[in-house]
Amino acid sequence: MEDSLSKITVREIRAEMGRQHISQRELADRLEWTQSQLSRRLSGAVRLSMDDVEAIANELNVGILQLTVPRARV
């Protein structure tokens, strides 16, 4: 069974945060969100909107597609 777009997006956001060594606290600060607001989105408690994904992509300096299309697993 394939993952939903939401799960893929969260996984890719977390992976990009790891690649850039950015904590949830730091990303939340950059977004001007509370850490709780970001955590709830990354945990699935609150669904990510396209506006959220766009804002996160901008703060991570990546394209939206990079966060919504899974990287090839080798």
pLDDT by residue (tens digit) across 26-67? 999 999 999 999 999 999 999 999 999 999 999 999 999 999
User: Could you read off the pLDDT of 2-17 as tens digits, one per residue?
Assistant: 678 899 999 999 999 9
pLDDT range class, residue 1, cuts 50, 70, 90: very low
CA distances from 47 to 7, 12, 34, 37 (A): 10, 15, 16, 11
Element housing 66 (H / E): helix 64-68
Question: Could you tell me the pTM of the whole model?
Answer: 0.89
Burial 10-26 (b: 16+ CB within 10 A, else e): bebbeebbeeeeeeeee
Burial class (CB in 10 A: 0-12, 13-18, 19+), 50: exposed
